[in-house]
Amino acid sequence: MTESFNESIQRAAILLKSARHAVALTGAGISTPSGIPDFRSPGTGEWAKLDPLDVVSLTTFHRDPARFYAWLRPLIVKMAVAKPNPAHNALAELERMGNLQAVLTQNIDELHQEAGSKNVIELHGSLETLSCPTCKRTISGDACYQNFINENVMPRCTVCGSILKPDIVFYQENLPEKAWFTAVHYAEQADVFLVVGTSLEVMPVSSLPIYALENRAKIIILNFSSTYFDNQATISIKDNIAFVLPEIVHVILKES
């Protein structure tokens, strides 16, 4: 018999409340209610309109950085005004209550931190800094992006004049080594692994639930679309994440 929505919420709350080492993996879907577009939704995602290799690859950046920055500019504008939504707040509350050990995120929008999450592992880097590909200097992003948005001038190194690269992971580029190995460690230790707002299509991040399952973790998937891991999940809820996660936290608080 198919489990009802409320029954799934109750079971998810019980699993998270009793977990000793629960970990969350988040993707773009958790930030779409905050007004930040995702990448893979059919017809509406960023990659439904553009080939990512044409805009967010090292090859493109080195050959035509203006093309990359033209794509990045509206995204930065949206991120600048975006605020955490109830799903971000719910994960921060789970951590505060001791029911969540870490958030492993593919997002670069910093909304988890703004919501109050303390232990956030940024697997795809961050827009907080930029690096010079020539002299390897690291520069804070705030002033660079403000000038870029206001004047539409690409950020340049003040020492050598090279165009700066945001410290996010491009296609053809490896994940930050420390972040990746930290994420694998958390996944391997997890007894409950919460997948939120990601279609699990991008390697190697999509392999993290496998590490958790090898530790016999219970897998909870909250995502609008199906994932390759749904059949392995203990619970899979396809609904509005900004509603589902707060409901789970509400049940935990009520039963506490």
Residue tagged active-site, from 21, 62, 112, 124: 124
The reply to whether 124 belongs to the active site is yes
22-26 sheet: strands from edge to edge: 120-122, 102-105, 22-26, 192-196, 218-222, 235-237
- Calculate Rg over the CA atoms of the chain: 19
Long-range contacts of 109-112 (CB under 8 A, 24+ apart): 109/31, 109/34, 109/36, 109/79, 109/82, 110/79, 111/30, 111/31, 111/34, 111/36, 111/82, 111/83, 111/84, 111/85, 112/26, 112/84, 112/88
Q: Compute the distance between CA of residue 195 and CA of residue 212 in angstroms, rounded to an integer.
A: 11
**Residues whose CB falls within 8 Å of the CB of residue 64, separated by 6 or more in sequence, listed in order:** none
Burial annotation 90-113 (CB, 10 A radius, 16+ → b, else e): bbbbbbeeebbbbbbbbbbbbbbb
* Catalytic machinery residues: 124
